[in-house]
Amino acid sequence: MTTTSTNSGRPKANEGGGGTRRRGKGSPALASERREHLVKLAAELFAEKGFQATTVRNIAEEAGILSGSLYHHFDSKESIVDEILSGFFTEIMSAYQGVIDQGMSPRDTIAGLVRLAFGTLEPHRAAITVMQNDWNYLKGMDRFAYLTKSEDEVEKMWVDTIKAGQKDGSFREDIDPKLTYRMIRDTVWVAVRWFKPGGRLNSKGLAEHYLKVMFDGINTH
């Protein structure tokens, strides 16, 4: 979003000695930074305490501000979690589509989707945790109706790829595509509960191990 300036007599950025204009206390840029900071703090609290158990006061105290000040940025905690989840789905759906658009074989496409999914565990840990803990509660609210729609769209991407793999002989015909996708999805998302960044395996290593088990199994023959 861009803003237009009026001819109010204020010096332009290159006036007054050639220095750069300092951001004012109430500048849009600073307000945006504060908003982003609040979203990150709230996301961590939602992940730690659960969305329903986290109050606006909890978020404000964590941010070191009064509860009333939080309402300058958000009208409710629902608005905050809405921003967290909508941002996550927008990003991951675009990324999934990018993998599919590469036109790879079904097996390579599934591998790419798995790697991408595991890659979300660190940057989107809070969003994934909220989905794990509060999905049923949130999707019952009208403002979160897009969650089910988004999940259906993601599921279709995976299921269509699995079906394509069955058609070209890459995948077994006796597996159920939808059930297979949901088992993969749940394996990835539930890993957020025990995966520790900085541990023996990073998210990339975790994805490669999972692909080895998924495609090759654990049998030696």
Asked if residue 189 has pLDDT above 80, the reply is: yes
Mean pLDDT of the region 157-185: 97
Q: Are 13 and 20 in contact (CB under 8 A)?
A: yes
Kindly write down the DSSP assignment for every residue of 96-107, as one continuous string: HHHHHTT---HH
Confidence of residue 166 (pLDDT cuts 50, 70, 90): very high
Mean pLDDT of the chain: 85
Pull the structure tokens for residue 206.
């975790």
pLDDT at residue 195 in the model = 87
Q: What's residue 15's pLDDT?
A: 38
Burial class (CB in 10 A: 0-12, 13-18, 19+), 213: exposed
pLDDT in the model for residue 97 = 96
Q: What is the pLDDT of residue 110?
A: 98
Q: Which residue would you say has higher pLDDT here, 8 or 134?
A: 134
Element (H, E) at 30: helix 28-49
Percent of the chain residues past pLDDT 70, beyond the cut: 86
Mean pLDDT, rounded, for 178-203: 90
Q: Which domains does the chain have, with CATH numbers?
A: 78-216 (1.10.357.10)
Quick one: tokens of 53? Answer: 């158990």
CB neighbour class for 4 (10 Å; exposed up to 12, middle 13-18, buried from 19): exposed
For residue 83, pLDDT beyond 80: yes
Average confidence (pLDDT) over 80-96: 93
Kindly report the three-state secondary structure assignment for every residue of 124-149: CHHHHHHHHHHHHHHCCCHHHHHHHH
**Residue 10 in this model has a pLDDT that exceeds 50:** no
CA distances from residue 192 to 119, 156, 188, 206, 214 in whole angstroms, order as listed: 11, 23, 8, 12, 19
- 103-106 contact pairs (CB < 8 A, 24+): 105/165, 105/168, 105/170, 106/161, 106/162, 106/164, 106/165, 106/168, 106/170, 106/171
For the cut 70, the answer to whether the pLDDT of residue 11 exceeds it is: no
Q: What is the mean pLDDT of residues 14-32?
A: 51
Structure tokens at 220: 């030696």
Confidence of residue 90 (pLDDT cuts 50, 70, 90): very high
How far apart, in whole angstroms, are the C-alpha atoms of residue 81 and residue 62? 16
pLDDT tens per residue across span 125-141: 889 988 888 888 888 88
Q: Which of 208, 159, 206 minimizes the C-alpha distance to 183? A: 159
Residue 69 DSSP one-character state:
H
